[in-house]
Structures are given as structure tokens and as C-alpha cells.
Amino acid sequence: MIILFLQITFYTILVSGSSLSDKVKQTPAHMYNKPEEQVNINCSHSIQNYDRILWYKQVNKQLQFLGYFLGYVNYEDGKPEPGVNVTMEGSASKDQICTLIIKEVDLNSSAVYFCAASREKPYTEPAYFGQGTKLTVLETGRTPTSPTVKVLPPSKKECRNQKDTNQRKKTLVCVASGFYPDHVSVEWKVGGEKITKGVATDNAALRNQTTYSITSRLRVPAEEWFNPNNEFTCIVKFYNGNHNEPFYGKIQGEKGMFISEGDGMTREKYLKATQRLKLSYGVFIAKSCVYGAFVVFLVWKLQGKHNK
């Protein structure tokens, strides 16, 4: 029996990305609960002849097998693993609901729970994951706290020495902080349109004493940043206990001129160069005025001598 479970688990991990995984549904996607409360997680599938639901708990990317629920004609039964403190009820048949029940949760119950649909026989049939349910058991006295979102502009020094204009990039950084617990997702929009290219978001939120923070980076061509008409928006979706609530951080593109010649000149260098030219021009005008005044003085003196 142990070998059977290992084989099923292997197939579950192997094919979880298949399109048939779309036929396995889990609800809800997020849950907050207080200690000692009961938690119910539902799973259903629409795969013909599949009659087994497997349940897993994922902590720190490690899967723990919780047990399975088997259902076919005149037989429905749950088989939890020893010591896991869960039960299962419902049905594993197509278009039916199988429920994982955790009667009294504690802080160690916080995890992502997965169901997977499989087939009792033959054992070689693959299994397919659901989308997962993230459960957080709230610490004593804690309530969900929303994030603060801020978008930081690119560094002035970034891409300064990059001579290939096609490779010049600017990196914006979105920082979401002060939230609890860590049920968040991050996305970017440029000019109101969602963008995924050039986006790199932390794999998980970082715990800072009592709250969490997460960062996301967006790399864009420098000419996009040096366009004041472009608005860069970071959207952090936070599960508030009822639904995913969006929080926004925004920043406008910088006013200025993007130099596209292949001489490695950046906007900063361009501004310095123009300032030097203005200063030189001012000195030239001042010298010209002094020289002109001197010439006028000489002419006046010569005319005075001639009249005498």
C-alpha cells in the first residue's frame, strides 16, 4: 500500500501542470481562521471514471500526504493517514464534492492544502492537482492588516555606461509592507495595460517581526521611463478575509530627454553638457559686452583728440 501511495504521489507531481488539472476545482482559494475553529476545504473534479481524491499539506515546499477518499458504486470511504488530525467526507465521483475537515486548527495548521483527482484502478493512471487552498491560522489577538504600497523610481546611475541603446533599461521597484498575514499577489500595469515582461516578484513575502513585506521589480526600456505620459502602477491584491482587495502604488515617467545616439550619453550627461554650454555662452556674452564697451571708449577718446 505504501508503494501504491508513492507511485500515485509521483504521478501527481509529474502531471499537475496538464490541462486536465483545470478539471479539478478547489474552494476556497484563501482562508483565515482562529485557533480551535473547524476548517472545511472542498474539492471536485469532472474527469470520467476517476474515483479517488488525494489530499496533501504543503509547508516550506514539502508535501505531506494526508490521506485519500475512495468512491465507487455502493462504496464511499475516507482513509486519513495516522496522526494527521483530519477527516474526509462526501464523494470522490465525477461532479461530486469531497471535503477535507480539520476539526480544531492551530498555528501548525497554517499551510497550503491540495487535493488531487486519481483513479483507483489501474494504478498507472495519472493524478491531477487542484489549485490549492492557502490557510492561515491567525495568531492570538491578531486581525488582518492591509499593505502600504509604494513604487520607487529607477536609480540615476542605472544604464549610465550602456552604449547599446537597445539594451538600456530602467528598473522600478514596488514595495508592499506592513501587512498580515501573507496572502498577497502582485501585478504591474503601464499606461493602464497589464504587463508581465520584465517583472520579477519575490517568491514569498518576508516576515518582519509582526508583519510581512514583499517586493517586485519591473524593468522597462529607458525611453519608456523618460516619458512623463507613462504611468507605472503596481497592484497588490490582499485577501482581507472576504475577497482580494487591490492596493495601488503609482509613479509617473520622468520628464527629460532620452539620448539615442550610440555614444553612451545618458540624460544626466546630456543635462550636464547643456548646463556647461549655457555657462560658456554666458561668459562669452559677458566678454563681448566688456570688449564692446572698451571699443566704444577708445572711439570716444580718439574723437575727443581730433576735435581739439
**What's the chain's length in residues?**
308
User: What strands lie across the sheet with 87-90, from one edge to the other?
Assistant: 24-27, 39-45, 98-102, 87-90
| Contacts of 271 by beta carbon, 8 Å cutoff, 6+ apart | 256
Q: Provide the CA 22 distance to its chain's centre, in angstroms.
A: 22
Band of pLDDT at residue 13, cut at 50, 70 and 90: very low
Give the per-residue pLDDT at 254.
92
**Whether residue 75 is found in the same domain as residue 94:** yes
Residues 142-160: tens digit of each pLDDT? 999 999 999 999 998 887 6
Tally: H helices and E strands in the chain: 3, 20
> CATH number, domain at 240?
2.60.40.10
Asked if residue 27 is part of any domain, the answer here is: yes
Cα separation, 299 vs 81, in Å, equals 111
Asked if residue 163 is part of any domain, the answer here is: yes
Structural domains counted in the chain: 3
Band of pLDDT at residue 221, cut at 50, 70 and 90: very high
Asked if residue 257 is part of any domain, the answer here is: no
Boundaries of domain holding 304: 266-308
Strands (E) across the chain are located at: 24-27, 30-33, 39-45, 52-59, 62-72, 75-80, 87-90, 98-102, 111-118, 128-129, 133-137, 148-152, 169-179, 184-190, 193-195, 199-201, 206-208, 211-221, 231-239, 244-252
**Whether residue 15 is found in the same domain as residue 58:** yes
**Mean pLDDT in residue range 87-116:** 95
**Whether residue 154 is found in the same domain as residue 245:** yes
**Whether residue 23 is found in the same domain as residue 73:** yes
Band of pLDDT at residue 122, cut at 50, 70 and 90: confident
Residues 224-245: tens digit of each pLDDT? 999 999 999 999 999 999 999 9
Give the per-residue pLDDT at 302.
57
Q: Left if phi > 0, otherwise alpha if psi is -120 to 50, otherwise beta: which for 160? A: alpha
Cα separation, 305 vs 174, in Å, equals 78
Residue 12 has pLDDT above 50, yes or no: no
Residue 173 has pLDDT above 50, yes or no: yes
Q: Final residue of a domain: which of 110, 137, 164?
A: 137
